[in-house]
Amino acid sequence: MHTILAVIIRICSNSLSNVFQKRLTKGGLNSFAINFYTYIGLSILSIPLIKNISTLTPIVLTNATIGGIFGALGNYYLIKALSKGELSILGPINAYKALVAMIFAIFLAGEIPSIIGILGIGLLIFGSYIIFNGTKEGFSLKLLKRKDIKYRIYALIFTAIEAVFIKNVINHSDILTSFILWCIFGAIFAYLLILTHKIKFVKLNTTKIIHLISLVATAGIMQFSTNFVFEKMNVSYALALFQLSAILNVFLGWKIFNEKDLLKKLIGSFIMVLGAAILIIF
């Protein structure tokens, strides 16, 4: 029951954090800055917990460092995608994480998809066809030229890689240590991105501060619940369950940002989630 509750909390907090990320970008805040504020806010909140951190072995620090790099990049591209696209379209794209993993498995592990795997691919494509067919570009290769779609794909690739290293940290330490290191290393690499791109910090008004606090809270809950689920089950199974947030993203995009075609996107999202679950589990 604890694991099921953690999955539900993770799904809801992930979608809510996407909402606050989109609101902040619509308010004119730079994606690099939002990325950094999220990690630094969580790092500050983690300071009282550092005394409970477990022994930091070289393997833990190595995995935390690599995970921090991919996590900071993945979160940045997610925010960048949300700044340019619709939440109800970008949310379901995450289901393609299963297809990305399968492609890597074919070339790196020699895993050839079964009939059930092909069925999963078919459902992914069919579901995305329903969602994207109403866009200007339609369901075509032209869609991949859209910046929001490209950024979302980058984000799902980086976060899929990040998940593996988070699991490794948990396996060699514990949930709390993994969470604290995720916050700290994420903040370090998010700040390096700011320095690299010479981003200047701007004065924040009350609305932006409230949205940032809400983002830090939801992102923290999301990541800690993610770590809890990763400890209890296989990463691939967890990722399959997390795809359910796509359906919630469609609903929130319609309700909060007045995005259109709710029913069609919900149907397409459900089909994509089913396809992703089949690919990941089987």
Neighbours of 12 (CB within 10 A): 17
Q: State the average pLDDT for the chain.
A: 87
- What residue type is assigned to position 158 of the chain? F
Give dist(CA 143, CA 152) in Å, integer. 12
Provide the greatest CA pair distance for the chain. Answer: 55
CB 7 within 8 A of CB 229: yes
Give the model's pLDDT for residue 180. 95
Q: Residue 51: CB partners within 8 Å, gap ≥ 6?
A: none
Q: Are 170 and 60 in contact (CB under 8 A)?
A: no
Residue carrying structure tokens 């995305």: 128
Whole-angstrom CA distances from 280 to 13, 118, 124, 235, 251 are 22, 12, 12, 10, 24
Report the residue count for the chain. 282
pLDDT tens digits along 132-169: 776 666 666 677 788 988 999 999 889 888 888 888 89
181-234: per-residue pLDDT in tens? 999 999 999 999 999 998 888 889 999 999 999 999 999 999 999 999 988 877
